[in-house]
Amino acid sequence: MFRNLRVKTEPVRHGPEPGSIPVTQLIGDASLPVSIQAINSLPENAKLRLYRALVPIELLAAVAVNPRTWKDAQGVPRVALEAEEGGGKLRLFAWAGEDPEDIFFDLELSDNAFNGIDLNFLILNDPAAEKFGIDRDEQGRATHFGAVHRNLPEEARAMQAGLAPGQVRAGLALSRQVFARLEAFLTTMAHHAYYLEPVSYVSAWVFERRGFAYVTGHKLMEQIHTEFQPGGALQKALDDSTLFRGPEQAAGIRGRAWAIHDGILATLEKRWDGLRMVKQIGRPAGVNTAPDVPY
């Protein structure tokens, strides 16, 4: 039904300005959207009770973490919440080993300029899987998902192991549960939609399958699919000039993503930039810009 859904590039504002109405005034009107900033103005334990619902129980059970206390069997905290009082952003993250920087779950939400909610990032890694050092370059600098620096040897290893660009470990296959939790939470807060910017071609493809449509970037995704077809400009540019540009890369989403990560969109005088997606809660858009292309 929603296969050809298009959305406005500038969404209409909904509800009051974030933080402009005290939380006590929202009790009488359950249809009024509640901002992250308003929730962050609550006492710490009240924030914890609300935000705790965002972490799937299955996720914590997989690493033997108590979903109520966020501690392991030895009583060591394994989940952290960052939600500064008066701020319009929250971050939830979890780690399984001794290093709190070795995160396997990371979720950040924030208020946006249209009184809606942005999903800034979501990381779901299997903490038991092998780690690939693509998050740091060979000089130890943060790569920022390869956008600033790259670690080519580790990227090559990750690609050969079946990972997508930006993945330091294999995934947990729990994104459906995370999105179900997120949408239940946003429904409780009376929001009708949320937004994100996909960091990679694989991310955009996954979010299409989770019901997202494009605010901007739909035409680029369709162009990418077209140009990876036999005789297309991107297919011709898969010339083995780098490890990430083998001819076989055109046949799958992951292979295309690595070629795009490697800068192949310059062939079209394009960059992976400016894409924005939206999910209307309870209404999957049915968008599919790469039909019949396997992962």
Bridge partners for 110 per DSSP: 89, 118
Q: Residues 6 or more apart from 122 whose CB is under 8 A from it?
A: 106, 107, 108, 175, 178
CA angle at 249 for the pair 245 and 234, rounded to the nearest 5°:
65
Q: What's the Rg (C-alpha) of the chain? A: 20
The answer to whether 147 and 42 have CB atoms below 8 angstroms apart is no
Whether 27 has a pLDDT exceeding 80, the answer reads: no
Q: Give me 291's structure tokens.
A: 């039909």
Whole-structure pTM value: 0.87
Phi then psi for residue 288, to 5 deg, are -150, 100
Which amino acid is it at 124?
A: L
142-167 mean pLDDT: 93
Q: Give me 116's structure tokens.
A: 């809606």
CA-based nearest residue to 165, from 176, 185, 175, 151: 151
- Segment 207-226, tens digit of pLDDT: 999 999 999 999 999 999 99
Please report, for the chain, the start and end positions of each structural domain, with discontinuous segments joined by +.
Answer: 23-129+169-196
pLDDT score, position 102 = 86
- Beta pairing, strands 103-111 & 117-124: antiparallel
- Segment 107-135, tens digit of pLDDT: 999 999 888 999 999 999 999 899 999 99
Tell me whether residue 6 is exposed, middle or buried, using C-beta atoms within 10 angstroms of its C-beta: 0 to 12, 13 to 18, 19 or more.
exposed
Whether 8 has a pLDDT exceeding 90, the answer reads: no
Q: Give me 120's structure tokens.
A: 């800034």
